[in-house]
Amino acid sequence: MSEEDLIIKVYLDTCILSKLRADTIEEEQLKSLGKICDYDYIDFVTSKKMLEEFIQTPKETIRIILKVIYKLINKIPYKSISKPEVISFDWANGRLVQIVKTNSINFDWAGGQLEPVIISTPVEEDLFLELKNIFPHKDDVEHIYQAVKGGCKYFMTLDENSILKKSKKFSARLKTICPDLEFVDPKALVDKLPNSINN
C-alpha cells in the first residue's frame, strides 16, 4: 500500500476557518483541531466553493486573511453540480451522440465557416439533488457534494443545526447516497482516530 493510500482526506467546511480567524471556536473543539493536526496522515482539503464564500466577506482585511488561509489548504478538483439535460441518444456520423434540451442555437464563425453553438439548459446532478433534499442551504450542499466527488472520508464542520443534526437524522439515507463520507465536528473526528499518532 502506498503512502498516498494511507492519507485520509478531511473536507473543511467554511465555518471552521471563519471561526478560527475570528477566534470563536469553543475550547474543546479547538483542542481537538490541534490533536487532528498532530496526525501526519490527515490531509485537510477544500474546494473553490470556500473561496467563493470568502470573497463575499465585506471587510477587506478579513477577506484577505481568509483568502490567504484558503491558499494554504489543499484543493480537490472542483466538480460541476449540473449537467446538460439529455433528451435522447442518436447516431451522427457513425457515432452515438447525446441529444440535449436546448434553450437556443446561436451561430459562430469557426475555421472560416458558420457553425452552430448549442446553448443547453443544465440540470443538477442526481447526487446534488439528493443532498438538497436533506440539507437546507445550497452552499452547504455544494460543499458536501464536492467532498463526496473528491473522495473525502470526513466532512468536518461546526455547523450543528444545518449539517450535523441533519446528517444524524438522515444517516440511513446518506449511507446510500454517499456511503464513504462521514459528517463530524473536530471532537468527533478525534474520537474516531486511533489513540497512537503516527508521526
* DSSP string across 160-176: IIIIIHHHHHTHHHHHH
Which amino acid would we find at residue 26?
A: E
**Grid cell of 52 as nine digits:** 467563493
Look up residue 20 and give its three cell numbers. 478560527
Per-residue pLDDT 10s for the chain (199 aa) are 555 668 999 999 999 999 999 999 999 999 999 999 999 999 999 999 999 999 999 999 999 999 999 998 989 888 888 765 554 555 555 555 444 455 444 445 555 555 555 555 556 789 999 999 999 999 999 999 999 999 999 999 999 999 999 999 999 999 999 999 999 999 999 999 876 554 4
Q: SS3 for 44?
A: strand
> Residue 150 in 3-state DSSP?
coil
Instruction: Report the 10 Å Cβ neighbour count for 160.
Output: 11
Provide, rounded to the nearest whole percent, the portion of the chain with pLDDT above 90: 66
User: Smallest Cα–Cα separation from 63: which of 75, 54, 76, 74?
Assistant: 54
Question: How many Å apart are CA 146 and CA 180, to the nearest integer?
Answer: 13
Domains and CATH numbers, the chain: 3-80+125-192 (3.40.50.1010), 82-124 (no CATH)
12-21 burial by CB neighbour count: b if 16+ within 10 A, else e? Answer: bbbbbbbbbb
pLDDT digits (tens, 9 = 90+) for 52-104: 999 999 999 999 999 999 998 989 888 888 765 554 555 555 555 444 455 44
